[in-house]
Amino acid sequence: MTHSSLRRVLTIVWIAGASTALFVYFRHRDVLEDLIGGAAETSLVTGGLVYLVLGCLRGFTLIPATSLVLLGIVFFRPGPLFALTLAGILVSSASVYYFAEALHLDEVLKRKRPGQLDRVRRLLERRGLPIIIGWSFFPFVPTDLICYLAGVVRLPIAKVLLGVAIGEGGICAIYIFLGDALLTAIGWR
């Protein structure tokens, strides 16, 4: 298989997967709730595995991890939920990073916007870790987008994952532990 045909196949797989996930998320959210809830009631391990798989695949849809976290708070204790969430985010981030790298999207961007790609590359090379931490912590921007850009400019994956772990770890810890405290305070736990 040539590089060009591999790129087309990966793009089609990504579009199909993202479209399916977005459709299910927006049109059949109750299916996701039943899937996680049913698995969590059957077995904590099975529920955790379903949650982890959804967390790993979520990145390709650019759906925020917050949605999955809010769903998970209802079914899981805070410690395991935090570990599962962070693991899913890191796998998802690495997948998005390597997906951008595998498609060699930097070559396309060099042709279409050479100046902008060079500016992004210099900025991420100089201040990559703080940018990724801040971007990952900020709740209104998709972390997967910065992972995608880091993959395009070929920032070291260790730096990307460290930044994502710190940023997303911080914001997810707030959501999970504060959410659990609120559920406990109102008597739902």
- Higher-pLDDT residue of 96 and 20 is 96
**pLDDT beyond 60 at 3:** no
41-45, 55-59, 98-102: least confident range? 41-45
Q: What is the DSSP string of 30-62?
A: HHHHHHHHHHHHH-HHHHHHHHHHHHHHHGGGT
The predicted model scores a pTM of 0.74
Among all chains, which residue has been given the structure tokens 């709740």?
139
- Higher-pLDDT residue of 112 and 50 is 50
pLDDT of residue 101: 72
pLDDT of residue 158: 95
pLDDT confidence band for 80 (50 / 70 / 90): very high
Cβ atoms of 146 and 136 closer than 8 Å: yes
pLDDT confidence band for 64 (50 / 70 / 90): confident
pLDDT of residue 90: 96
What's the CA gap between 175 and 170, in Å, rounded?
A: 9
What's the CA gap between 36 and 39, in Å, rounded?
A: 5
Which tokens hold the place of 70?
């809010």
| Per-domain boundaries in the chain | 3-185
Alpha helices in 103-156 (DSSP H): 105-112, 114-137, 143-153
**pLDDT beyond 80 at 20:** no
Query: How far is the CA of 142 from the CAs of 7, 23, 36, 99, in angstroms?
Result: 23, 19, 23, 16
- Higher-pLDDT residue of 113 and 81 is 81
Average pLDDT over residues 104-121: 75
**pLDDT beyond 90 at 168:** yes
pLDDT of residue 140: 79
What's the CA gap between 71 and 32, in Å, rounded?
A: 9
pLDDT confidence band for 71 (50 / 70 / 90): confident
